Amino acid sequence: MREDEQTKEELHQRTDVLSDELWEIVEERKEQNTEERRKIMEAGEIEFGLEFLTLSAQQLMQAELDKFKVSVQIIHDYYHAVEEKNTPETAGIPSCELAFEGDLPAVEFVGEASDRSNIESYSYPRLEKLLAMALGMQVIPDVTQNAAAGGADKKGKAPAKGKPAAAEEAVAVEDSVYVREMKEALRVEKSILRFRLVQIRNWSYQRLQELRNSAIRLYKKLEDWIQVAQKTEMDAIEEMCVIIKHAIESESKIQNELKIKFMDFTVDKKTLNFITPDPPKLEALEEFREERFAIPQLQSILQELQLIAESTGSCDMQVVELASLLFSKIKLSTAFNGFDSGMPEMWNKLALQDMVGIVRMLDP
């Protein structure tokens, strides 16, 4: 039936149906992988990491502000103690928790909607706003004027408005050596604060960018893996269909088993769909009869006669010797329980005298 054209068309149609069913399985696997990728992206693990890094940067900035506040208070206390003046109450610097209660930009959602074109140049507005707020808190009140006014009131010489003597005294206080040293120390503390805040911002920005970029690369790699898996599976199906259709057109059976495992298509030569039958035996060259010699039996007797002729150096034999030779083959067959004696079956029943008579009839 493999030679029939309708049979070939039927087999081709079955191959196409099988291919469509396998392609549906591949599409289903792709949808499952895409759904799994979407769940990974929407799990929020990357966003939690971004939020955690931002909060860590906020806490570091808060620690630097607290340190700056304590340093300013120590500087004020020291220089006012040197001048033996009352230490003014420094205006408190609000903490980051209080200053950042306003609306801050939300942490970016790294998903399908995220912009991947500027993977290396994305800015983090929340971090920038935290830095701006922290830098804005380095402004501290000027306590030298309060100290000057306090000192004047203590001596009972509060300058009246518009009097040049009071103005000259205030200028003298501001221009004192200790005041200049205090202002210089405060300026150094502010520069240290700005430097450390910028360092925290840069470190946090680098970590945030690395985490965001690694997440985007991971999502892109997952997408590429899904596409490559689908393409490879479809190529394996196509290769299998080509082999099947070639067997149909060549009117041959596929003996080795075809296997598709995930993305690999193999021809398993260890597994056979059917066993190749043995070649038919050749027909007998002659008709078998019980009363006459077969060709192999005659060849065997001829070889024995040639050996005897070579050993004796003569081609002549006595009738009794030839009869004894043939009769010995019959006796060997009897001794070995019917072993093939090389003689016709009917001859196995003859006696020695019968054998001598037959040989005499061949050559008196």
CB neighbour class for 152 (10 Å; exposed up to 12, middle 13-18, buried from 19): middle
Q: How far apart are CA 227 and CA 222, in angstroms?
A: 9
The model scores a pTM over 0.85: no
How distant, in Å, are the alpha carbons of 28, 223, 230, 241, 259 from that of 22? Answer: 10, 21, 11, 11, 12
Q: Which two tokens stand for residue 200?
A: 């925290």
pLDDT for 195: 93
Least confident of 67-76, 105-114, 179-188, 316-325: 105-114
pLDDT of 349 higher than 60: yes
Q: What is the pLDDT of residues 142-185, one digit of tens each?
A: 666 554 544 444 444 444 444 444 444 444 444 478 788 888 88
Average pLDDT over residues 10-31: 90
Q: How far apart are CA 238 and CA 230, in angstroms?
A: 12
How distant, in Å, are the alpha carbons of 218, 297, 336 from that of 282? Answer: 69, 19, 30
Q: What is the pLDDT of residues 189-234, one digit of tens each?
A: 889 989 999 999 899 888 888 888 888 888 899 999 999 888 888 8
Do strands 264-272 and 256-261 pair parallel, antiparallel, or not at all (unpaired)? Answer: antiparallel
CA atoms 111, 113, 117, 120: torsion sign: negative
